[in-house]
Structure 1
Amino acid sequence: MSGENYTIVMEFILLGFSVIPKLQGFIFAVFLIMYMNILVGNGLIIAVTKTDAALQTPMYFFLGNFSFLEICYTSVIFPKLLTNFWSHNKNISFLACAIQLGFFLVLGSTECLLVAVMSYDHYVAICKPLNYPLIMNHKFCVQLVVVSWISGIPVQTTLTYLVSSLPFCGSNKLNHVLCDIPPLLKLACGDTSTTELSVYIVAVLFGMISFLLILWSYIKIITVILKLPSATSRYKAFSTCFSHLILVSLFYGSIAIMYLRPKASHSEEIDKVLSLFYTILTPMFNPMIYSLRNKDVITALRKLLLK
């Protein structure tokens, strides 16, 4: 880069949805409602799974942890996103951007693993019901949750360091709603091939392996369900599986398109929309898909609200 003048980037400008200034107030209201729904819906799930005696089972233990994760996941993004709608200063420091990216990646990998753990729990409950209490004992459940929460920390922290260590020079306009890897790589100058390879490896390590475990679990589950003698039981089981698979498809599909497609085919506007699927819509639909269709949870919610 000798012979040319470059300005080292010390902060970024999160453009977000500033390209449509006339709708800033409306979009702010929509995102605020979404955030409140995520906090209230997942907060209620945490409350009932902790307080109701009927919900002290492995399935609801995992569900409570998953709801807490969804609150943490969205809280990494929403405060800065909502602030940017009203503030003329959309800047985010380099350090703050790196911290947001780090938490975003760590919590994202935790979500991949927890969804896989919940699928495994369903598999044991349906395919090995007699051994379920022995296999899914409290100690093993706690171990699965702890592994899900901490296993991504060293890998994703290293990946965050690799991205943050790239030379950023010239434009500091980050055309995205958060500090994420694809838009940051677009602003990096110099060779980013090593970092891109690392991103693909981590995506396969956490995303693909977790997805294959989920797929294997549900193939086994569907095989058992097809052998059930009652048509009503089969319908209820298939309905539950279908809802979960929709959520899995929404989460993993958007991540796969976001991170695994070639760099040349990336579109900034499409990236923004895709990021909303796994950062906002999935946490918002979590209470409905996982819980509000469940009679035990509805009963527990009624008890809690009456108190």
Structure 2
Amino acid sequence: MTTRICYCISLITAAGLLFIGLRFLISPVKAEFDYGISVNMQTDYSFHYIKGIRDLFSGILLMLLVLTKQRKALALTLLAATVVPLGDLMIVMVKNGGDWQHGIAHLIALAICLIVGPILLMQNPKKNATDSEAYFNLIHSAVDGGPRVIECDLLPGAKTPWHYHTSFSEKFDVLKGELEVGKAGKRYQLKAGDHIIIMANETHLFYNRSKEVCRVRTTIDPGNFQFEHASLIISGLMKDGLTNSNGIPKKLSDLALFIYLNNSKMTGAMKIVEPVLAFIANIAIKMGRLKVLEETYCKKADPNTI
């Protein structure tokens, strides 16, 4: 519960930073006044725009860390970020001789960093006893032609945000347990024996809300080679303890690569971070991270993997 509260506070802070950043870009004079200083720059708002871009980046970074549940990275980022509100507070107080009316906002931001950061750092994530027992079986590979079929276990809490794929359709057959599947804005509660088909470009999500493991057979048609690699990589990362309790990779670069490989396109607010994740994936590919993951987790299934 404590971690969730910290995540909520961080998410609200991220939204606030996005708002402030956009305000400095759209209405620099008003944003400058609310910041707590007044400078005569004529009509040159270059520094205002720099401030806006800084806050936009900070907001996007915090939002990414919260949405991917990167607890330690979020905690360290907040602690490191204390220099920003502390510096802002000192600037405002020195400039205006103790203007607490405008300084209070910077003081609150400083308090969030100094309180939420250490709390997150001290939290011990609960280990799921079923992590090492997660089942994954590649029944039919895309390498052999035709649809690609796998069976895998979705651990309690495993979920995805709303997204869609442009290159293939998906069919989910629930073999054991229960699974919530969102499709085109509606949610369906599936039990063992139920199935649902998601067409290409159709928005969807899945979420194992139960406390039991859910076993699902997923059919990708037409078979997609990169999606298959994404499945093998995420399964390997889970077995090696490199994902969190929701099955999300702990490394942001691994998450970006997973989204890149499985042709996932974001919707809604997540659309904002899609270019950032694409950029991170591109850097990870150039740095050789994708090759390492493929060599580690995909070679046995695909003899053609380099």
TM-score higher than 0.5 here?
Answer: no
TM-score by structure 2 length? 0.24
Which structure exhibits the higher relative contact order, with contacts defined as CA atoms closer than 8 Å and separated by 6 or more residues?
1
TM-score (norm 1): 0.24
Structure with a larger share of its residues in helix = 1
Considering fraction of residues, name the structure with more strand: 2
